[in-house]
């Protein structure tokens, strides 16, 4: 079994390593450390950051693929939930059900025809939900307490305190950061996922879809798509916004006119139509060159990568406009005028004076745009111009659930599952971005 990294796998891991290196570099600044400590002094921001970290960890687990053979590969997440990946039923089943959702026509031994609910194949009908829940909660409590103890030990070493002394301070909420709130949130999250994981061996916790696929497995697999759309689109959009926005504000003249013409023209085109046209052109090219891809997974990954590029190239205009306005203001300040008078080159002025003073806008815009991009993927996939239909995504789940909602009886769990996991991610991103904006924006209320 060999490692088989897709293009998006390499991009997300490269970005994570770059962010870690950047965080280590800027962490040497006392002012930067003070600002980020202020961000995490908020209990809401601490819990939101913890939820975002869980989503990113799940996405990373699903971003290391191992080639099983020439036609298929699986990730760490696939291996962890292999019992769900290979336990497809015949058709719909409700959460915790032991039989199919619809009746099927069957011929009885006496020759009569009857409409019966057929039993599910991959469900242990004799398993007790209560007993398995107690086991899962006990296991989750053990794992959660172990993680908390390890972190407490590490923090106590950093503060040169005895473990019990530091644990007492945390319990009495006498630390600068709200670690007690973070530990409670972590314990709740671990208990929840332990409960889902243990019960998934005996039941389809969130039911199955039209082709019998486990909805819990599909929801967890969709986390990678949502996180990649939100994070990697920023990687594409950020350099364009920085270069063009700062150039327009600093160089002015014809450079400013050309850049303004570019983003004004781009903003005048409806975004959905532009993205749809680009995706359809890409789809035609891929259909005409099937030999470019050895597996369906590679084909879906290239389409996801292309969607990320298109979203990035159509979403840079807002940040570019903000950076242009801020650069115009900063370029009139005394220290920039003095640097020009002493003959300092414009590129050095950008590096020493402009960039440090616009980074708060960049950080705020990036965090605010994340949730919007996650929702954009769902909308685009819903209208059929998003990710490949074979790829797991919340947008595809919602699109498939559109017809299920009109059934009688109604199939509601696919839409509920996609909505729940997407809602938690977007809510956490918005709550965290509010705190970042409050702390980093010089005009905000601290």
Mean pLDDT confidence for 395-400? 85
**Left if phi > 0, otherwise alpha if psi is -120 to 50, otherwise beta: which for 160?**
left
Does a structural domain hold residue 420?
Answer: yes
Does a structural domain hold residue 38?
Answer: no
Give the gyration radius of the chain's Cα atoms. 26
Cα–Cα distance for residue pair 364/343, rounded to 1 Å: 33
Residue 139 has pLDDT above 50, yes or no: yes
pLDDT at 446: 43
Mean pLDDT confidence for 98-107? 84
Neighbours of 302 (CB within 10 A): 18
Mean pLDDT confidence for 45-73? 85
Which range among 67-71, 365-369, 375-379, 414-418 shows the weakest confidence by mean pLDDT? 67-71
Does a structural domain hold residue 37?
Answer: no
Does a structural domain hold residue 314?
Answer: yes
Whichever domain contains 329, its CATH number is 1.10.3720.10
Mean pLDDT confidence for 397-417? 82
pLDDT at 442: 58
Q: Kindly give, in sequence order, each residue whose CB lies less than 8 Å from that of residue 442, ignoring residues fewer than 6 positions away.
A: 360
Which range among 109-113, 133-137, 206-210 shows the weakest confidence by mean pLDDT? 109-113
pLDDT at 72: 66
pLDDT tens figures, 297-325:
888 888 888 888 888 888 888 889 989 98
Q: How many domains does the chain have?
A: 1
Does a structural domain hold residue 417?
Answer: yes
pLDDT tens figures, 13-27:
888 888 888 778 777
Most confidently modeled of 77-81, 160-164, 194-198, 234-238?
Answer: 194-198
- Residue 66: phi and psi, rounded to 5, are -115, 130
Q: Identify the band that residue 445 occupies on the pLDDT scale cut at 50, 70 and 90.
A: very low
What is the residue range of 377's domain? 222-440
Does a structural domain hold residue 40?
Answer: no
Mean pLDDT confidence for 413-437? 89
DSSP category for residue 92: -
Does a structural domain hold residue 360?
Answer: yes
pLDDT tens figures, 192-243:
999 999 999 999 999 998 888 899 999 999 999 988 888 888 888 888 999 9
Contact status, residue 381 vs residue 395, Cβ threshold 8 Å: yes
Does a structural domain hold residue 357?
Answer: yes
């Amino acid at each position: 079994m060999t490692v088989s990294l897709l293009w998006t796998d390499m991009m997300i891991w490269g970005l994570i390593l770059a962010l870690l290196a950047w965080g280590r570099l800027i962490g040497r600044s006392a002012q930067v450390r003070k600002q980020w400590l202020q961000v995490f002094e908020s209990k809401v921001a601490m819990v939101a950051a913890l939820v975002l970290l869980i989503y990113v960890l799940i996405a990373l687990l699903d971003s290391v693929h191992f080639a099983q053979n020439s036609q298929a590969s699986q990730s760490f997440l696939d291996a962890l939930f292999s019992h769900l990946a290979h336990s497809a039923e015949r058709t719909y089943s409700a959460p915790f059900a032991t039989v199919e959702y619809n009746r099927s026509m069957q011929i009885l031994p006496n020759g009569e025809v009857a409409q019966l609910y057929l039993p599910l194949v991959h469900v242990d009908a004799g398993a007790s939900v209560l007993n398995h829940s107690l086991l899962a909660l006990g296991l989750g409590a053990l794992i959660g307490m172990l993680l908390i103890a390890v972190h407490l030990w590490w923090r106590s070493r950093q503060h040169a305190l005895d473990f019990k002394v530091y644990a007492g301070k945390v319990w009495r909420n006498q630390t600068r950061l709200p670690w007690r709130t973070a530990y409670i949130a972590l314990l709740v999250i671990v208990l929840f996922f332990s409960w889902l994981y243990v019960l998934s061996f005996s039941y389809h916790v969130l039911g199955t879809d039209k082709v019998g696929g486990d909805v819990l497995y599909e929801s967890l697999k969709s986390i990678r798509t949502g996180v990649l759309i939100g994070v990697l689109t920023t990687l594409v959009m950020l350099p364009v916004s920085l270069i063009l926005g700062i150039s327009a504000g600093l160089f002015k003249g014809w450079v400013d006119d050309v850049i303004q013409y570019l983003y004004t023209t781009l903003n005048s085109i409806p975004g959905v139509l532009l993205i749809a046209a680009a995706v359809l052109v890409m789809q035609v090219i891929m259909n005409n060159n099937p030999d470019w891809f050895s597996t369906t997974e590679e084909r879906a990954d290239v389409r996801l990568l292309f969607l990320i590029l298109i979203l990035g190239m159509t979403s840079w205009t807002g940040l570019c406009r903000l950076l242009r306005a801020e650069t115009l203001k900063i370029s009139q300040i005394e220290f920039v005028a003095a640097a020009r008078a002493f003959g300092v080159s414009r590129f050095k002025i950008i590096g020493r004076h402009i960039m440090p003073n616009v980074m708060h806008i960049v950080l705020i815009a990036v965090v605010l745009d994340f949730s919007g991009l996650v929702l954009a993927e769902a909308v685009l996939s819903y209208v059929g111009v998003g990710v490949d239909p074979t790829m797991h995504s919340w947008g595809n789940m919602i699109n498939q659930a559109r017809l299920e909602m009109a059934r009688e009886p109604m199939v509601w769990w696919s839409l509920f599952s996609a909505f729940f996991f997407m809602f938690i991610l977007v809510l956490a991103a918005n709550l965290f971005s509010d705190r970042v904006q409050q702390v980093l924006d010089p005009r905000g209320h601290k």
